[in-house]
A and B are shown apart, each in its own frame.
Chain A
Amino acid sequence: MVQKNRFYFDYAANTPVDPEIRRFLAEFYETHYGNSAGIHHFARDMREVLDRARVVVAKAIGAGSSEIVFTSSATESNNMILKGLAHKYPDKNHIIISSVEHSSVFEVTQFLKTIGFSVSFIPVDQNGKIDADEIEGLIRPETLLVSVIWVNNELGTIQPLEEIGSICRQAGILFHTDAVQGFAKLPVNVRETNIDLLTASSHKIYGPLGAGMAYIKEGIKLEPLLHGGGHEDGKRSSTVNVPAIAAFAKAVELYQPAAKTEFERIKKFRQKIVQSVLESVPDSRINGDPDGLPHIINLSFKNVDGELLAIYLDRKGIAVSTGSACSTGKIRASRILEACNVSVEWRKGTIRISLGRFTTDEAVDYLIKELVNAVEKVRKIS
């Protein structure tokens, strides 16, 4: 869990697996195997586990268990929902999304544009928050759905799901939310909030990688992304990753009661980090909504190369992520911060620090000390 001389501040990307879940999985792999779609004893055992997991995950969002489809990731879930609906309702060829969606929604809509869909964006304020009233003006007769990320992965900003839900309900439009960063951390009830579709994954709440889910309200039909043997009630063919899903459910059960105390700790850490950095580092700012989820801290340093900063910190044993990436040789500053109208000299110098259950006082103090030095040093060479 803890690596010597290394400090993990990237919980929003992937949380370490809870030790109890690790033990659970080790035992599970010893005692359970077989394709859950089979007819024999082994398969039936797997199916039972799967059904129980479905109940747990459904309950966490106030859904019925038949409304939950397990997938491999939230990216898959988002693809399944958006493409699946687009296939089923080709006449409804307009989609509304926020301008701060995760790539797994944004890029899918860019793909859908190539097959005749049009996409409207709900603008955000400088904290990355939408004004739900803006949605009404964007709705057209051919609007298929509104998709808004619940908690933004770069900023932690929380969107007003209830307001969006009631607007969509009144307009008779489907409402999807990418709930990855908020799932299990914040309470939500899909019935009361009028959410028709919701996606989440296991590896943000101390569960294993490789398990995701989609809530699809009863009655909504969509074309499967994966055709085949008819697993998951025909909605997602593929031998079901029962161990990961069972552990996912376990993570939900473990997380929810612990969430409150965890957040109290995280809030304190957050306050300390933000205060120290803003005080000691010239030309620094915090992005996102002050009322957002506290575990995500998005900091910008003017005229600093954010990726060099992240590399420098990594050399000091501090793992953070950056808003920019040079995957193709070009530096791309964050699309999300651009939507928040943050200018490029700030955007380039952005890092995301995300906290979690195993963050310690020692790690936070070390981070603060090194970050102050690092910005000074990297600013000179940026």
Chain B
Amino acid sequence: MKTTFLCHYSEIGLKKGNRNYFERILEQNIRKSIERALPESEFSIHLDYKRFIIDFKEQVEEERVGTALHRVFGIVNYACVRKTNLELSEIEQAAVELISAKEGKTFAIRTKRADKAFPLNSNEVNVRVGAKVVEATGKSVDLTIPEITCHIEIMKQGALVYVDKIQGPGGLPVNSSGKVLVLLSGGFDSPVAAFYAMKRGAKCSFIHFHSYPYTNKFSQEKVIDLAKKLNEYQFKSRLYMVPFAETQEEIVFNCPDRLRVILYRRFMMRIAERLARRKDLKAVVTGESLGQVASQTLENIAAIEEAITLPVLRPLVGMDKNEIIQVARKIGTYEISVKPHDDACTRFMPRQPETRAKLEKVLEAEKSLDVEDLVEKAFQSIEILEI
């Protein structure tokens, strides 16, 4: 039997004007995700009454399709469906087969009519099919907490019958909100921040600052692995590797050590902004959470953000560390982030970092640096990796 999948997207926030745009991007993303997960399969996607119906030419592994759809933001739920003609007997037969194959003693039928021309209304379909299922399987109807829910969607061309409705990742399709630049470290937080940015429809480019040769190449490979993992949600990414050791050295040897971390981050922001503006990326995303580490007090965030004019998005601001870790596990970045690495060599960490930086002092400290020269040098030596 040929495999068919049905996807629903969230309509909330969609206006008439942008629905087309949204649907077109979502369809592309679904296509790319399936092509990647099942490269050998042939399939077609069509939009029918705010639903995407994916028809495979042959039978394919449902799990692999599920994995592919689970990585497409914008999908609220999806299911492997049985297609029938618009004949009640066929619908009944499909429902009986699907329900009897499931464990559980109680069931409910939930029908939606996209095609109002069907002679029975939704409730009548529920009743008629339900009676048939009771007769054929011996299971009983429970409309409040059924063990099995069988959905029937009556479309113009035929009916879709299914029992396992799987919750999708939700959100908005990647690329529907524009492009952003994510500051990606080897840690737990920034990949999760990228995940949330993608979830809200941002297409992410990644920028990583490394202290090679003070840190080893392994740390960079880790970041590449993280970018590859995150790329599962957006099909094509760019990772910009910025050699940052020289900038760090300049800061270490010319500025008060308490301000090092703030100054590092100000330079990261400047370099990120320069890149973002050249590449038409509209915002910078960081994994900062309020008050998690010394550099993340409001005073320090303000002192850092003063160096950048682009919007800085911090999707993790409301999350606890354990919540971040939980998401990292779910999206598969945890296993990569947990590997030991020397992120910014402790050589360059101050003994006692400033927790409440005064902007005047930061600006004063920066006077001993040739800011423009350092930013431009770092910018010119960026290495671009296509993920």
Contacts and interface: CB of A to CB of B under 8 A. Distances in A.
Interface in B324-377: 340, 342, 345-347
Contacts, number: 28
B253 interface: yes
Contact of B249 (A315, A326, A328): A315
A358 interface: no
B349 to A, nearest CB: 9
A308 B347 contact: yes
Interface in A289-326: 307-308, 311-312, 315, 326
A297 to B, nearest CB: 23
A330 B253 contact: no
B345 A326 contact: yes
Contacts of A326: 214, 342, 345-347
Contacts of A308: 252, 347
B347 A315 contact: no
B73 to A, nearest CB: 36
A381 B342 contact: no
A323 to B, nearest CB: 14
B386 to A, nearest CB: 31
Nearest to B349: A329
A381 B347 contact: no
Nearest to A380: B257
Nearest to A314: B249
Contacts of B214: 326
A378 B214 CA distance: 18
Contact of B346 (A331, A377, A381): A331
Give the interface residue-count category, chain A.
Answer: 10 to 19
Contacts of B257: 381
Interface string B192-235: 00000000000000000000001000000000000000000000
A315 B342 CA distance: 22
Interface string B237-255: 0000000000001001100
Contacts of B342: 326, 328-329
Contact of A381 (B252, B340, B345): B252
A83 to B, nearest CB: 27
A328 B341 CA distance: 8
Interface string A119-139: 000000000000000000000
A307 B252 contact: no
A64 B203 CA distance: 71
Nearest to B215: A329
Interface in A325-382: 326, 328-331, 377-378, 381
A312 B253 contact: yes
Contacts of A315: 249, 253
Pick the 9 closest A-B CB pairs, nearest first. A329-B346, A329-B342, A381-B257, A326-B347, A307-B347, A326-B346, A312-B253, A326-B345, A315-B249
Given A312-B253, A315-B253, A331-B346, 17 more contacts: A307-B347, A308-B252, A311-B249, A311-B252, A326-B214, A326-B342, A326-B346, A326-B347, A328-B342, A329-B342, A329-B345, A330-B346, A331-B347, A377-B253, A378-B253, A381-B253, A381-B256
